[in-house]
Homo-oligomer: A and B are copies of this chain.
Amino acid sequence: MTDPIADQLRDVLDGRWIELRRRARAELPAEVLLAPPGLSLEEHRARTTDSLLAIAGMGYGRVGFPAEFGGELDYAASCVLFEMQAYGDLSLLVKTGVQFGLFGGAVARLGTRRHHAAYLEDIMTGRLLGSFAMTEVGHGSNVQALETTATYDDSTREFVIDTPSDSAVKTYIGNAARDARIAVVFAQLTTDDGDHGVHAVLVPVRDDAGKPLPGVTIGDNGPKGGLPGVDNGTFAFDHVRVPKANLLNAFGDVGDDGRYVSEIDNPNRRFFTMLGTLVRGRVCVGGGAGAAAKKALAIALRYGAARRQFAAADGQDEIVVLDYLAHQRKLLPRLAKSIALSFAQNAVTERLQELQGDTGAERDQEGQRELESRVAGLKAVTTWHALDTIQVCREACGGAGYLAENQLTQLRADVDVFTTFEGDNTVLLQLAAKGLLTDYQAMWGDLDVPGMVGKVAGQVGERIVERTTGRAGIQRLVDVATRRDDDSATDSLAWAVSMFEQRANHVLETLGGRLRKANKDNAFELFNSAQDHVLLAARTHIDRCVLEAAAEAQQGMPDGPAKGLLERVLILYALSSIEEDKAWFLEHGRLTTARSRAVTSAINDLCQELRPQVATLVDALGIPAELITAPIVH
């Protein structure tokens, strides 16, 4: 028996790549996607490799690669596939993300035709397993400071890859400890004519039998907080020689004369252009985390709608726990946020396709920068949301939630590091704020904001970028809200959108005002004392992007109960966010105390109102039923 409202909502949530989602739901087998609990580390790793090969065998490794070399579908469609896989074992998800996304993506985007012809078919089929070796022991968030060297020896036309110190050892590298035969190694490129900054070089690391090649030392990061199936490890290189052709040379190369050549003169800009082609990884991580949160909610909500604990007052039937306001308060606002985030995720995925879909060349630098900023912030917001939500779901299922068979604890343990990899969330929020504050040229400074503040003092904050989506539906909503000045509209989407806009703009404007006072002498102090303000600016901007993307999708639906239901869900999301920031709204005179209290009442009312719609909303999430094996919901 299908639920037409759920079907309609699911289609809207599925968005542009609805066919790929449907195909993945129908085709991807649960026995491949899920791993049983209780495997040993080695068993889990072996199983994950087998499952990766099974996925590749079904052709899914081709999604997102260029058609010319055997790829399929759109570049950004791979992010949607990543989301769909995230309903299964996240070890497998990350392993495929390393192979097809990071490693394969680097070969496709940083390499050129010679690399594509030589490697892509083997990468897509899983015949060649590889690593993406960027992070070093001493250098996580600060990629520009990597120490590994790639020194060009013109006499042999080779690069010499070397790890000069303990802090230069590559670490946390997926596929390294067990499977990789080759790695994309990020290293400081040097030729006879000087240093050229970080570049990527293909370095074989194991022979066909799996033995480390001479000069390559491989370590195992061992047991982790989660992702037991991913063989994270370390690489150290002792003057390992690779042919000149192994340089991934899309943005810089060594000519036949042994001299460095690049179409991008500025080394900083070159570096960030290279990094920019890797933004897809952050889109994927956010989407994967969002999917994991939805799976957890589906489990906890179904359990909560069935579990009885205490009898009600005299003579009444026992009440299911989800009928308690406290339980609804835990789960429903998070469900609403998960739904809102889905639309923001769809929006950045579509935008990624628009900007990088064809070639990865940066045609629209302004747009690319805006996308990077939004993706950085959305990744941070979504992964934290996922971590928080899965934990709350675990607790909402009590002791049963703690049993591995009920799927919540492994999910949470696995998602944990999503807040760290592909960029530490706090650093990413600062990056997002920076994208809002500085103009394009100013960005090619350091990744670190204090450095940037020092260097571009005087420019910072001059230009506060206004990043509305500028779409007609949203504008109409806001216009309606700002025309009203009575207190009756608290519980409306238009009012919420207007509040989100006011909050984001005010926080950003006042931040600009503070940072404008920076000069070389006070830059660190000034930045440091404003750091909480910086983070708030990023978060409120992202919140606004999320609500606007969701409202835009909702406004585009045909009138009817599905559209009406989604509106109520988005209002719950928005009011919950406003409630969290109530103090800000009160301090800044954007809410009266009466209206502030009305927000809390409205949330409580909405929880009760949406309670009967929970089954429909869970159905609309579109999680394949066979991937939810938790005995507590069966």
User: Which residues of A are in contact with B by a Cβ distance under 8 Å?
Assistant: 37-38, 40-41, 135, 138-142, 145, 171-172, 221-226, 308-314, 316, 319, 323-327, 329, 387, 391, 394-395, 398-399, 401-405, 408-410, 412-413, 416-417, 419-421, 424-426, 430, 446-448, 450-451, 453-455, 520, 523-524, 528-529, 531-532, 535, 579, 582-583, 586-589, 593, 596-597, 600, 604
CA distance A141 to B412 in the complex (A): 24
Q: Is the CB of A417 within 8 A of B399?
A: yes
Q: Is the CB of B424 within 8 A of A398?
A: yes
Q: How far is the CB of A224 from chain B (nearest CB, A)?
A: 5
In the complex with contacts A416-B394, A532-B325, A593-B604 CB distance below 8 A: no
CA distance A582 to B529 in the complex (A): 20
Q: Is the CB of A224 within 8 A of B313?
A: no
| List of B residues within 8 angstroms of A309 by Cβ | 139-142, 448
CA distance A403 to B416 in the complex (A): 12
Q: Which residue of B lies closest to A227 (CB)?
A: B402
Q: Is the CB of A597 within 8 A of B604?
A: no
Q: How far is the CB of A397 from chain B (nearest CB, A)?
A: 9
Q: Knowing that A314-B455, A532-B600 are A-B contacts, what are 15 other residue pairs whose CB atoms are under 8 Å apart, sorted by A's residue number?
A: A142-B310, A221-B403, A225-B394, A309-B448, A312-B454, A312-B524, A313-B453, A313-B524, A319-B524, A325-B532, A326-B532, A399-B421, A529-B604, A586-B593, A587-B593
Q: Is the CB of A41 within 8 A of B41?
A: no
Q: Is the CB of A409 within 8 A of B416?
A: yes
| List of B residues within 8 angstroms of A221 by Cβ | 403
Q: Which residue of B lies closest to A323 (CB)?
A: B528
In the complex with contacts A224-B403, A395-B420, A450-B313 CB distance below 8 A: yes
Residue in B224, B314, B326, B329 whose CB lies within 8 Å of A404: B224
Q: Is the CB of A310 within 8 A of B451?
A: yes
Q: Is the CB of B37 within 8 A of A38?
A: no
Q: Is the CB of A314 within 8 A of B454?
A: yes
CA distance A405 to B223 in the complex (A): 8
Q: How far is the CB of A216 from chain B (nearest CB, A)?
A: 21
| List of B residues within 8 angstroms of A419 by Cβ | 395
Q: Is the CB of A404 within 8 A of B325?
A: no
In the complex with contacts A224-B402, A399-B420, A312-B387 CB distance below 8 A: no
Q: Which residue of B lies closest to A448 (CB)?
A: B310
Q: Is the CB of A311 within 8 A of B448?
A: yes
In the complex with contacts A310-B141, A325-B528, A597-B587, A225-B402 CB distance below 8 A: yes
CA distance A196 to B139 in the complex (A): 66
Closest 10 interchain pairs by CB? Answer: A225-B409, A313-B454, A582-B583, A310-B448, A223-B404, A38-B223, A586-B586, A583-B583, A313-B523, A325-B531
Q: Is the CB of A409 within 8 A of B586?
A: no
| List of B residues within 8 angstroms of A579 by Cβ | 583
CA distance A171 to B631 in the complex (A): 14
Q: Is the CB of A140 within 8 A of B399?
A: yes
Q: How far is the CB of A582 from chain B (nearest CB, A)?
A: 4
CA distance A168 to B116 in the complex (A): 62
CA distance A327 to B426 in the complex (A): 9
| List of B residues within 8 angstroms of A583 by Cβ | 579, 582-583, 586, 596
| List of B residues within 8 angstroms of A413 by Cβ | 225, 409, 413
Q: How far is the CB of A20 from chain B (nearest CB, A)?
A: 31
CA distance A586 to B520 in the complex (A): 38
CA distance A316 to B593 in the complex (A): 46
In the complex with contacts A313-B524, A446-B310, A532-B325, A404-B222 CB distance below 8 A: yes
Q: Which residue of B lies closest to A430 (CB)?
A: B326
Q: Is the CB of A451 within 8 A of B404?
A: no
CA distance A142 to B398 in the complex (A): 12
Q: Which residue of B lies closest to A408 (CB)?
A: B225
CA distance A412 to B415 in the complex (A): 14
CA distance A222 to B37 in the complex (A): 9
In the complex with contacts A326-B426, A426-B326, A226-B314 CB distance below 8 A: no
Q: Is the CB of A404 within 8 A of B313?
A: no
| List of B residues within 8 angstroms of A395 by Cβ | 419-420, 424-426
Q: How far is the CB of A190 from chain B (nearest CB, A)?
A: 20
Q: Is the CB of B326 within 8 A of A535?
A: yes
Q: Which residue of B lies closest to A419 (CB)?
A: B395
In the complex with contacts A416-B394, A604-B529, A447-B310 CB distance below 8 A: yes
Q: How far is the CB of A533 from chain B (nearest CB, A)?
A: 10
Q: How far is the CB of A353 from chain B (nearest CB, A)?
A: 30
Q: How far is the CB of A229 from chain B (nearest CB, A)?
A: 14
| List of B residues within 8 angstroms of A138 by Cβ | 308
Residue in B41, B142, B325, B410 whose CB lies within 8 Å of A529: B325
Q: Is the CB of A532 within 8 A of B224?
A: no
Q: Which residue of B lies closest to A603 (CB)?
A: B532
CA distance A140 to B412 in the complex (A): 23
| List of B residues within 8 angstroms of A387 by Cβ | 391
| List of B residues within 8 angstroms of A140 by Cβ | 309, 398-399
| List of B residues within 8 angstroms of A310 by Cβ | 141-142, 145, 446-448, 450-451
| List of B residues within 8 angstroms of A142 by Cβ | 309-310
Residue in B324, B409, B416, B520 whose CB lies within 8 Å of A314: B520
Q: Which of A141, A387, A430, A531 has the most CB of B within 10 A?
A: A531
Q: How far is the CB of A45 from chain B (nearest CB, A)?
A: 12
| List of B residues within 8 angstroms of A582 by Cβ | 582-583, 586-587
Q: How far is the CB of A521 from chain B (nearest CB, A)?
A: 9
CA distance A145 to B308 in the complex (A): 11
CA distance A417 to B395 in the complex (A): 8
| List of B residues within 8 angstroms of A323 by Cβ | 528
Q: How far is the CB of A492 from chain B (nearest CB, A)?
A: 21
